[in-house]
Amino acid sequence: MPATSTSSSAKASATTKRTAAKPKAAPRTKAAPKAEPQASTASSAERVLLVPVGAAAAARDTVAGVARDLQSRYGSREAARAQMRRFEDRGAAVRGRARTDVEGRLSAVRSDISERSCAVRDDLAAQADRAVARVREAAQPLTSRFAA
């Protein structure tokens, strides 16, 4: 039996015929239900009011949870006062360390500025002395001529 070869153009035309033969389905259009304008406005207004109410309820629940936690942790006013004193002492210690650190840094900056200003002062004095010496050298011929 002889081998038959199908050319690429024949394959393409066969594919086109098969594709063209299939009936196309009608596009589906689903009509969106039209909401009444008053209903959508009322829904939006309700949502606007419910958001802050929900946020306030969540905040209330958080505060209530913290209060329950503190009550279970400390149990009595005396225990809460003792804990407050510990917090106060700890805050004072932190403040003292911070103050010491800041004062140390301030002292270092003041020392550095003092050293730099002394160096600048000495440099300016040396420049002034050299300028005076140059002026005297330049004036020497004139003073010797007028002095004679």
Averaged pLDDT for residues 22-43: 62
Residue 140 — pLDDT band, cuts 50, 70, 90?
Answer: confident
Q: In sequence order, what E strands does 5-104 have?
A: none
Average of per-residue pLDDT across 63-69: 86
Query: Is the pLDDT score of 127 beyond 50?
Result: yes
Answer yes or no: is pLDDT of 15 > 50: yes
- Averaged pLDDT for residues 63-79: 83
Q: Lowest-confidence range among 21-35, 60-74, 91-105? A: 21-35
Q: How far apart are CA 110 and CA 104, in angstroms?
A: 10
pLDDT of residue 1: 47
Cβ pair 63, 71 in contact under 8 A:
no
